[in-house]
Amino acid sequence: MFGLEFSTVFLGMIAIAVFLLSQAFLVPTFGENRKARKRMDERLRGMASMDGTARKTSLVRKKYLTELSPLEQRLEALPGMDNLGKMIEQAGKETLAYRFVLTSLVIGAIAAAVAMLFTNMGVVAVLSGLGVGALPFLRLSRARSARLGKFEEQLPDALGTMSRALKAGYPFSETLKLVAEDLEEPVAKEFEITFNDVNYGGDLRVALEGLLVRVPSVTVMALVSAVMIQKETGGNLAELLDKLASVIRGRYKFQRKVKTLSAEGRMAAWVMSLFPFFIGGVLSIANPDLMPMLIYDPLGQKLIIGAFILMVIGIFWMQHIVRLDI
């Protein structure tokens, strides 16, 4: 029984290794280096401490909280729900945070029950429940990354539209409306929300900082900072937006180049990390009596666990080598 359970743990190790590989060597087109992320987090924390921004954030959440039952409001007020709600909003979804968590728990429980029914093994049930329950969060994270990446890809075109409108004599708030009308989701929706915030009598600074909260990105932070500095000191905003669009396009091309140049290293890392599992599968087919000796023997189990720990360390080390801070 112990050997059977360890073989299940061995399969779980394979799944964990593949997951770590997929996360470690996934290089987004728009990656932010650690220093830039730290500066942006500090800026967002500073915004959250401001009274105006706090009221703005609460109004965004109250658009649906006021329509919920008292029980649902208490569930939405649980720790972590606010951050999860922001993540759902950034992914372009409209699901309530507590419903998302309940859905994840339900499908995880169903998967654990099914695994327990067919295998009658607690380890398999727990691993199955955790794995299936985590799938919605993984999909949400990928949807968020894809939407934010698409927003930044569209941002230079949005800045170009705003610059041309300013040169034609439009006020700044109307340029936001033109972007919402001329471009596509997600940049159109975010600029429409920002325009509505200003058009309904809101402060421009709070509206732009709300955009930064919904789209936490260094390029958006640069846009917000540039507009606010221009409003305070004056200058040619249209020319400033043109230069900012040019910088963003250059950054995009450079990151594409980095992604291309690092493709060989990432592929080598995949091959090196998955090669032991490939060899294990080949040996299992060529000599079915060989692998059980390693899996069920106490010394072999210790060797497998040690090799897995070294593999995880190697994955993170290769990630440090392959991924470049830009």
d(CA 312, CA 304): 12
Residue 321 or residue 54, greater confidence: 321
Per-residue model confidence as pLDDT tens digits over 131-178: 888 888 888 888 888 888 888 888 999 999 999 998 888 888 889 889
CATH number of 147-258: 1.20.81.30
**The model's pTM:** 0.70
Confidence check: pLDDT of 225 > 90: no
pLDDT for position 107: 93
Count Cα atoms within 13 angstroms, Cβ side, for 298. Answer: 0
Number of C-beta neighbours around residue 217 at 10 A: 20
Confidence check: pLDDT of 29 > 50: no
pLDDT for position 23: 58
Residue 58 or residue 194, greater confidence: 194
Residue 32 or residue 213, greater confidence: 213
- In the chain, % helix, strand, coil (3-state, to 5) comes to 85, 0, 15
From 16-20, 72-76, 147-151, the region with the lowest mean pLDDT: 16-20
d(CA 72, CA 55): 21
C-alpha pair distances (Å), 145 with each of 83, 91, 167, 179, 225? 15, 7, 33, 22, 23
pLDDT for position 33: 52
Mean pLDDT throughout 197-206? Answer: 81
Confidence check: pLDDT of 52 > 60: no
Confidence check: pLDDT of 56 > 50: no
Q: Which of 44, 78, 99, 27 is nearest to 221 (CA)?
A: 44
Confidence check: pLDDT of 288 > 50: yes
Per-residue model confidence as pLDDT tens digits over 256-270: 787 777 777 777 777
Looking at the chain, the whole-number percentage of residues with pLDDT higher than 90 is: 3
pLDDT for position 13: 64
pLDDT for position 38: 61
Tokens of 87: 């993540």
Looking at the chain, the whole-number percentage of residues with pLDDT higher than 70 is: 77
